[in-house]
Amino acid sequence: MPHRVPSPRPSPSLWFLRLVAAALGGALLLVGPAPAQPARPPLPPEEQGQVNVAIDRGLAYLLAAQNAIGTWGTGTEPGPGGGHMVGYTALPGLTLLECGIPADNSSVQMSAMIVRASAP
């Protein structure tokens, strides 16, 4: 079979895809940012207290449910490699951070270590 020399021009489908991407990007620049959503009014103090108690209970559960190796869950759920260990570890770790647990907390550190070790 003869050796085919690649053309310096992109294939028609690649050219069309680039054109569409450039057009969409330009259209998004013309439209501008989405309007800001109005701020939600704060909860009454009694309701905010109930929300805070629920958050604290959830944090206590997450901290108590973490396995000794730093993961959450059993790792026996469906999925390649014996479960969705990274997802089951990343989401609680992020939740801890979003709820005010400091990044140097041992539970957050173990969670981050597992997620980083699983990255390609």
Residue 37 lies in a domain: no
Q: Is residue 95 part of a domain?
A: yes
pTM of the model: 0.60
Query: Domain residues for 61?
Result: 51-118
The answer to whether position 12 is within a domain reads no
- Cα–Cα dist 84/107, whole Å: 19
Please report whether residue 22 resides in a domain: no
For 16-60, the pLDDT digits (tens) are: 667 667 766 666 666 666 677 788 888 999 999 999 999 999 999
Instruction: Quote the DSSP letter at residue 3.
Output: P
- Domain-located, residue 34: no
In a domain, 2, yes or no: no
Burial 96-120 (b: 16+ CB within 10 A, else e): beeeebeeeeebbebbbebbeeeee
pLDDT in tens, 94-105: 999 999 999 999
Report percent pLDDT > 90 for the chain. 38
Number of domains present in the structure of the chain: 1
Which amino acid does the sequence have at 87? G
